[in-house]
Structure 1
């Protein structure tokens, strides 16, 4: 299960590499020449040992026929491998799949062999087919066909594993960078100062609300610590964390900020990279004016059932702080490494919108469990 689901995540990423591999002309040429050399070597040895009378025309004829045989075996088998890798992705690897592919390799080479024989006997009608010759000719093509198919499948598997390993390492690096960036933003002095300052005011004015503030603050940090090792998490958990994080913001800004969540329960089982919503909400607060006179309205909603849209009214600060754009860049990089559609960013004079794709939970549960 772990290996098959791992291939699900990176399968789209390696698809282009697979196509290049099976279409590589150098591999095809070397493979065809290798089969030709092996098959022709057997015939030449018969001539050299005197089993078959030596004749230059016969030697040349056999070389051409062997080359034709190698081309038909290689290309027919390659076509079967391409077909099966399109119809049956890597995460469907099973004995049944390979047995089916082997059967198709036999059928394809049998068909090509039959067409070759028809052509041969059509051009030389006086030749009489021998059962032993036909049987060993079929066996010859079957064995070489299986070897070619096994060779390609091994190449594809090695390429998939190499790409998967590389992508996994890159994903870990980006994931760590996102986690550290978020933790850095949360624990930097001004955030702690603002949170503690708000808490001090609440303790004096409203102790019960202060207790709730501490509870929500603990939820924020607990989520940050628990999500460190996860690449994907359920949208429902991300929303709970976002609500706790927003409570801290609302306690601080009061009527200057609002959050509307318009997401159905059926969509909450979808997956999303941890801290995505927190970074988008924080991005909105960071770059816009937030006050009772100019309230910031943030809305989370679904679009087309497969996208999560985060939208806020656009009211840029008069003296904005320098921004390196790392928040949005990190989110986009993470979705890219997960082989998901690109994050969409749109803005106009009235609003700023970010759309992130929701990931279906099928075959991914183990990642965040």
Structure 2
């Protein structure tokens, strides 16, 4: 939203005062004897007053439009020139309409013809207005710039907290206790499987540490780590966890925040019962621009948590200014999350 929404009363009062001062100055320069009644009784005063303030509001709305079409981050100088030229042309066009309107009110013989005084007033008033609007735009730019810095800092903080919590979750005593028990058991009965289990566990740790300084990772990188994480739970839960994969149209170079899949897998496992009689069914469907993770709902008691929820994952997309954010859909039968892949 543009700056007028934040300091609406202040800017409106300033615009009103400036338009009144200009009206008085224009009458003072055109009339030998300046009088209050002369200003009040002249229709030009009202039309000029409306024109000035209407142009102020219009200019700020144009600024809000260009914020969407051509953000300051892309090209500051080009954006400034294009925006000011657009505003200046609109100001002059509406001033001409204002003069013509006054001409019709006064029954001028040819209201569409401008005299030297009208042209001078138009140029002078337009320049004053464009300087005033430029000041407001600069304030808006500084406001947006400060907001972008705050957003970036928030993203960094969110990312650091997520990474710390994710790493902390992997070191969670409950998680490690289960993993080590499974590893010890596999060493006794299936040394080859124990080796694979240990490699997957190390892969999970390694990915968390390697993604510490990354805002985005490719789907290929994310899936390798998430697959290792899922394999740990598949070994531990056995037939209590079923997994279905559809990667026929996977865009492996698409990007997403690191640990996104791991968060969703962990979220499904920690919130649902996963036994042989009531298996938890996870489904992962790769699409060209999206990634869909779903599971059947059979809620149970939460034993431990990664510390990063779906809300934090959604916020990371928002902080990245992504065009799309995760879509979460829960029904009586299943829970589904669609993750957009970024470029």
Residues of 2 paired with 1:35 and 1:229: CA distance? 53
The equivalent of 1:133 in structure 2 is 117
Structure 1 counterpart SS, 2:283: strand
Q: Which moved more, 1:330-339 or 1:308-317?
A: 330-339
Report the CA distance between 1:247 and its aligned residue: 1.6
- 2:100 pairs with 1:118: yes
Match of 2:151 among 167, 170, 184: 167
In 2 relative to 1, CA 201–173 (structure 1 residues): closer, same or farther, beyond 3 Å? same
In 2 relative to 1, CA 130–243 (structure 1 residues): closer, same or farther, beyond 3 Å? closer
Q: TM-score, normalised by structure 2?
A: 0.80
In 2 relative to 1, CA 191–209 (structure 1 residues): closer, same or farther, beyond 3 Å? same
Q: Deviations over 1:244-292 (max 9, x none)?
A: 1112122223333232222444533333322222122112222333334
Match of 1:313 among 296, 318, 323: 296
Match of 1:249 among 226, 233, 244: 233
Match of 1:283 among 267, 270, 287: 267
In 2 relative to 1, CA 117–355 (structure 1 residues): closer, same or farther, beyond 3 Å? same
- Asked if the contact 2:247/2:286 (under 8 Å) is kept, the reply is yes
Q: TM-score, normalised by structure 1?
A: 0.75
- Asked if the contact 2:2/2:61 (under 8 Å) is kept, the reply is no
- 2:10 pairs with 1:31: no
Report the CA distance between 1:242 and its aligned residue: 0.7
- 2:68 pairs with 1:86: no
Report the CA distance between 1:84 and its aligned residue: 5.4
In 2 relative to 1, CA 195–104 (structure 1 residues): closer, same or farther, beyond 3 Å? same
Match of 2:335 among 341, 345, 353: 353
Residues of 1 paired with 2:37 and 2:299: CA distance? 85
In 2 relative to 1, CA 20–60 (structure 1 residues): closer, same or farther, beyond 3 Å? closer
The equivalent of 2:32 in structure 1 is 53
- Where structure 1 has 5 or more consecutive residues not aligned to the other structure, the ranges are 1-16, 362-369
In 2 relative to 1, CA 30–311 (structure 1 residues): closer, same or farther, beyond 3 Å? same
Report the CA distance between 1:22 and its aligned residue: 8.9
Residues of 1 paired with 2:199 and 2:59: CA distance? 60
- Asked if the contact 1:21/1:156 (under 8 Å) is kept, the reply is no
- Where structure 2 has 5 or more consecutive residues not aligned to the other structure, the ranges are none
Report the CA distance between 1:236 and its aligned residue: 2.7
The equivalent of 1:223 in structure 2 is 207
The equivalent of 2:87 in structure 1 is 105
Structure 2 counterpart SS, 1:228: helix
The equivalent of 1:240 in structure 2 is 224
C-alpha RMSD of the superposition: 3.6
Residues of 1 paired with 2:149 and 2:132: CA distance? 26
The equivalent of 1:367 in structure 2 is none
- Asked if the contact 1:186/1:192 (under 8 Å) is kept, the reply is yes
In 2 relative to 1, CA 263–64 (structure 1 residues): closer, same or farther, beyond 3 Å? farther
Q: Which moved more, 1:149-158 or 1:53-62?
A: 53-62
Residues of 2 paired with 1:144 and 1:63: CA distance? 22
